[in-house]
Homo-oligomer: A and B are copies of this chain.
C-alpha cells in the first residue's frame, strides 16, 4: 500500500470470557487466521498479530502461518502466502505495542472492537478521520465470548458496535473484522 494510513490489528486470545463469563485463554483457530489475514491484506492493514500467552498455541499459530508462507501452501496458493505473511504471533498486547512503536517510531493508540455498546465510544467516521492523520492505531478483536472489562478499560478508545437491522447481534469475529475493515478503510 502506498498510502500513509497505519492501521494494525490484533486478535486477542487472552484475557477473554467463556460462555460462563470466566476469564480464559481461548484456542487459536486456523480459520480465524486465514479469513482475517485475507481481509487485512485486502484492506491494506499493516500487520495482523495473533496474541496468546500459551506456548503450544503460539506454536500452532506459527505452524499454520509457516505452512502457507514457506511450506507447501506457498507454492500451492500464493495469494494465501501474501495474506498470511502479515501475521505475527505474540505473547501479549504489550509485545504488539512494542513492535509497532519500533517500526512506526511512535506508540500506537489502541482501539477496542466489541459487540456491546460502551459509555465512551467513537464512531467509524471519527476513527476514519483519525487514521488520516497518519499516526498508528491498533484495532483489538476478542475471541470466545469477548474481551474482559479490565482489558477494555485499559485501551485508548472503544469503537461503536456493529448494528444490523434488529436486536440480533452475534457475528463471528471473522465477519465482524471484515465488516469493520470495510467500514474504516
User: How many copies of the polypeptide does the oligomer hold?
Assistant: 2
Chain B nearest CB, measured from A79 CB (Å): 5
Which chain B residue lies CB-closest to A76?
Answer: B19
Q: A183 — which chain B residues lie within 8 A by C-beta?
A: 182
A interface: dominant SS:
helix
Once the chains bind, are A43 and B164 in contact (CB under 8 Å)?
yes
Once the chains bind, are B83 and A175 in contact (CB under 8 Å)?
no
- A175 and B182 CA atoms in complex are apart in Å by 10
> A39-B171, A79-B170 given as contacts; is B182 within 8 A of A165 (CB)?
no
Partner of A172, one of B3, B35, B44: B35
A interface, size bucket: 35 or more
Chain B nearest CB, measured from A21 CB (Å): 15
> A39-B171, A175-B39 given as contacts; is B44 within 8 A of A164 (CB)?
yes
Once the chains bind, are A172 and B1 in contact (CB under 8 Å)?
no
B-facing residues in A76-94 (Cβ within 8 Å): 79-80, 82-83
A31 beta carbon closer than 8 Å to chain B: yes
Which chain B residue lies CB-closest to A175?
Answer: B178
A27 beta carbon closer than 8 Å to chain B: no
